[in-house]
Chain A
Amino acid sequence: MTAAWSHDPELKVQHLTMRFGGLTAIGDLSFDAGRKQITALIGPNGAGKTTVFNCITGFYKPTEGLIVHRHPGGQEFLLERMDDFRITRHSKVARTFQNIRLFGGMTVLENLMVAQHNVLMAASNWTVGGLFGSPRYRHKEAEAIERCKHWLNKTGLIDRADDPAADLPYGAQRRLEIARAMCTEPRLLCLDEPAAGLNPRESDELNKLLLSIRDEENVAILLIEHDMSVVMGISDHIVVLDYGRKISDGTPAEIKADPAVIRAYLGVDDEQEAPAAVQADIAKSIAEPPPPPLTIAKNARKPVIAKKRPEPVKHKGGRK
């Protein structure tokens, strides 16, 4: 396989396995994430996507496997053996969280300043220079504020800069979390469901923001998302997980056509595969989401659990 993302990948995940006691959350997962590409990680609820993220960002130590973050200069970081905060600091991987984790009692601007902690800490000579107001620190602080302003402008939060983060509406909090992650100046940005809870207009804005991060800041993005309008709209590469295993890997067009993906999402019974016509129909419904954004994802696990229920057939009847 010589896909575009495998030539010079930003991130190589090889044979990643994560077991919690007897439960194998991820089993032998390998994929590459290309440089300056948006790679989406999708799959039904409980497929292990967030666990992959936690392994990449060091919050979990994987049971087996290798995670290599390759900088363009040829420097390589073995993320599976680094502490979580060192991964962000040295290897330049930033992340956001599925349940937003902002510093709610601090203002929007302060949130972004905290993200530049390491740069500012060094500039303040580990606080000593800062205490006496050294010119170098003041200069760096002004620079940091400029960077905050840049990201506040980009995320449309500049007017709320002095408000507490917890006061922002939900969509703005999501954007602030992305801005905060970007203020650490990452090379790889991991976003855990950035579009969750956004309305169609907001998720459209999110798409633009992510594309500009990819194209203008040259940052690779790894994305977990259920909102297919986001995933299909902006991804360069999609990796599909189910039950902790990779079931498909390819461009959005390839993924849309892959029967394994359709099976995982819509729970077609393994033994009695639906006729080809049905599959095409379902594939169409994934490819062209109806006006209210398609959220097959959220409860997609249900049909899989209730495998014997002939739901797809009913669905088909409705369509015709």
Chain B
Amino acid sequence: MAATAKDTAFKAESRNLSPQEIARDLIGTAIITLLLLIPIVFYRTVMNQGTLLLQTRLPLVLGLTAAVVVGRLLLHLFVWQRAPEAGRASTASATRTDWRETVGKWIGPAMLVAAIFLPWIVQFIPGWERRGLGIAIYIMSYIMLAWGLNIVVGLAGLLDLGYVAFYAVGAYTYALLTTVYMPLWFGEGIVPWTFYIVLPLAGLLAALWGVILGFPVLRLRGDYLAIVTLAFGEIIRLVLINWFWFTKGPQGINVPKATFFGLPFADEPGSFSDFFGIPYNRLHFFFFLYYVILGLALLTYAMTNRLRRLPIGRAWEALREDEIACRALGINTTSTKLTAFAIGAMFGGFSGSFFAARQGFVSPESFVYIESALILAIVVLGGLGSQLGIVFAAILIMGSFELFRELGFLQAILPEGVEPIQFRMLCVGLGMVLMMRFRPRGLVTRRDPTVYLKEKKAVSADLVSQGHG
């Protein structure tokens, strides 16, 4: 728009701009755009029954300004930096790395802040108050699952195709303990609190199953390991279907939903809204769920990050790089693999019991192989071992699934009987193929060292091995 003329003038120099200079340039762009837009776009005259009214359109002006600034930023980032003249190649690439570093440093905290305020932001979008929250919870639970699987696949380099089994263990632990065993052992009184008691238990049980699966399997490597974990996932699902008296088979189990520390979310005396003296709103439950899963996901993130800096985490990564060298250094690879399996499984169990508490219903149908594949796809698309990449990948994959639900309007131009939603898997598959072609190491391809002497330099993913199973 307004800044186009200036752009051309700047084009030559902007290649070597530092972040500060670019920020200044962007502020200048914003001011010029605003100055131009206020007389041109801000005021609008409308004819209304013979009188001429003056209308202001502030949102449009702000939106256009933002678009110009973002566009210019993208040009700075990707267009002007990418085609350096031969003589300037080195400086230009240095600026580019700088940029990457700055973005890399701030994007994590920025996304955390965005995640914390997301439920409120969503409230400002009409028609999305509940749906937006629902999708956010959905995506967040996949982020958590993928972060859990990342420990096994991304750090320890063990290909696990049956991760959903631990998710199922967590969900059924929650369902069976809350509906059958806790009331049986402790009486009905404890039921409102069960979510908080069962959550850690579900994690522990899933970890136990991780160890049980691990013992026979960890002698295997690569493809063989993948096949056995795949089979394990299916075995758990088939047991859930067929062990009728214990799991109620395909009928599934209705479970009480999570409560706010004993206060249920309902329009009744003694409920959450009653206790705090606020009018009942169905959204309270979604807010609550969102923050629970956000908390669990952040726990997963923080714990993984912490473990990476401990000897156990370094041993996982070393295992991924070279198992034989690990053994030559006196590392017990079997127990190291087992801990990776168990801790990954534990987070799967946490999110499984969250899943049950959110849905209020579990059945074996929720734990099919495609879920494992989806979680693995998120980990791989994000970049093995990269926690930030996993967030992007989860938003991309799960978000695009939801996006397809919103494409109903395309029905008008599509032939009879063809619905956009039927193409979602096709499109995601196509996306994965394209990714494998253009970014084979995933979206975020850098590994942060866990310890450094002078300077923390990211390790390029080209050097990082992907594990042999």
Residues of A within 8 A of B (CB): 57, 59, 84-89, 94-95, 97, 101-107, 109-110, 113-118, 120-121, 124, 127, 130-131, 145, 149, 158, 161-164, 166-167, 180-181, 184
Contact = CB atoms under 8 A, between A and B. Distances in A.
A40 B104 CA distance: 50
A117 B331 contact: yes
Interface in B181-213: none
B459 A88 contact: no
A113 B331 CA distance: 12
Contact of A103 (B318, B327, B453, B460): B318
B307 A127 contact: yes
A180 B327 CA distance: 13
B426 interface: no
Contacts of A184: 329-330
B336 to A, nearest CB: 9
Nearest to B324: A101
B463 A114 contact: no
Contacts of A180: 329
User: Which among A103, A109, A121 has the highest number of chain B CB atoms within 10 Å?
Assistant: A103
A114 B454 contact: no
A164 B446 CA distance: 12
B322 A101 contact: yes
A85 B310 contact: no
B46 interface: no
Interface in B332-370: 332-333, 339
B317 A103 contact: yes
B98 to A, nearest CB: 18
Given A84-B328, A85-B327, A117 B465 contact: no
Contacts of A161: 452-454
A105 B450 contact: no
B318 to A, nearest CB: 4
Contacts of A101: 322, 324-325, 328
Contacts of B332: 85, 89
Given A85-B331, A117-B329, A162 B311 contact: no
A102 B460 contact: no
B328 A97 contact: yes
7 contacts: A85-B333, A89-B330, A103-B317, A103-B318, A110-B314, A161-B452, A162-B449
Contacts of A167: 463
Interface string B439-469: 0000000010111111111011101110000
Contacts of A162: 449, 452-457
Given A85-B330, A105-B459, 9 more contacts: A85-B326, A95-B328, A97-B328, A105-B447, A114-B314, A130-B312, A131-B306, A162-B452, A163-B457
Contacts of A103: 317-318, 321-322, 325
A157 to B, nearest CB: 11
B311 to A, nearest CB: 4
Given A105-B447, A130-B310, A88 B328 contact: yes
